[in-house]
Amino acid sequence: MKPGRLLVFLALQMLCLAAPLEIDAQGYKYDISQLVPPDPENPWVVTNGASSFYFSVYTDLQSSVFTRFCPDKLPAIAMGTLRGFCTKLGDSKSSIYAPIYTAGQAQPTGLNITYGNGEMCSAGYHNSFQLIVPCATSVGKPTIKITECRYAVEFPHPAGCFTAVPSGMSVGTVLLILLLVGFFLFISGGSVLKWRIKKMDMSIQVIPFIDFWKALPGLVWDGIKFSFFPPLCRPKPSQYQTMA
């Protein structure tokens, strides 16, 4: 691999690995990457009597079990099963994130994720799946409460602790702006230096490292091809695949 290509590949990999799955709940930020089941074949499970409820977070259930036994109920973020029958509780197409507040506390104490779009439950109502994630220091055991068409799972988890409060500008945004300003100063300053000191003609060649910039789109494309085919990053919700 050419050094330039390797560099871009490594940069993309780092972005891919470091990227937290950050969501916004009314301005509060939460990193829900640890809430997504680590193994798509083994979603989170909670039982209630003879029924079992399987759920994923952010990405619909990927387990081949559901593709085999109830493909008509997919895509689903949560599925109830009772003696071989499946009930779709919701899917990732309709998700609402909201902070949870506790009386007497100024800041949120958890995260409330509601998934709609479940199958019809009773006249005019669709099932919905609510994931209540109280902020906890360690991962707890999920429990379920069922009220008519509403399935509410409480799952204490560190992902229920917000990572940033609402603010005008995040650290990332400020850094990005500084980086862009720095880059602009570097290009314009470098060009002026090359033009005045090296007495170069005023052409595109005065831009510092012009050959690298010209090659960059090709390098980035190579990096993307290496990084995403086969995909190393988390699949997006829309990339649901059925296994026939």
Residues that bind ligand NAG (CB under 6 A): 96, 98, 100, 112, 114, 130, 132
In whole angstroms, give the CA distance from residue 91 to residue 116. Answer: 6
Helical (H) or strand (E) element with 131: strand 128-134
Kindly compute the dihedral angle of the four CA atoms of residues 215, 218, 222, 224, in this order, to the nearest 10 degrees. 110
**Shortest distance (Å) from residue 101 CB to ligand NAG:** 8
Find, among 115, 113, 119, 112, the residue nearest to 93 by Cα. Answer: 115
**Shortest distance (Å) from residue 110 CB to ligand NAG:** 8
For residues 150 and 194, which CB has a smaller minimum distance to ligand NAG in the complex?
150
**Shortest distance (Å) from residue 107 CB to ligand NAG:** 15
The amino acid sitting at 157 is H
For residues 112 and 227, which CB has a smaller minimum distance to ligand NAG in the complex?
112
**Shortest distance (Å) from residue 164 CB to ligand NAG:** 20
In whole angstroms, give the CA distance from residue 125 to residue 118. Answer: 9
Find all residues with CB under 8 Å of 46, minimum gap 6, and list them: 52, 53, 55, 142, 143, 144, 153
Task: State the residue for tokens 């799946």.
Answer: 129
Find, among 126, 127, 155, the residue nearest to 142 by Cα. Answer: 155
**Shortest distance (Å) from residue 87 CB to ligand NAG:** 20
For residues 70 and 100, which CB has a smaller minimum distance to ligand NAG in the complex?
100
For residues 4 and 134, which CB has a smaller minimum distance to ligand NAG in the complex?
134
For residues 54 and 155, which CB has a smaller minimum distance to ligand NAG in the complex?
155
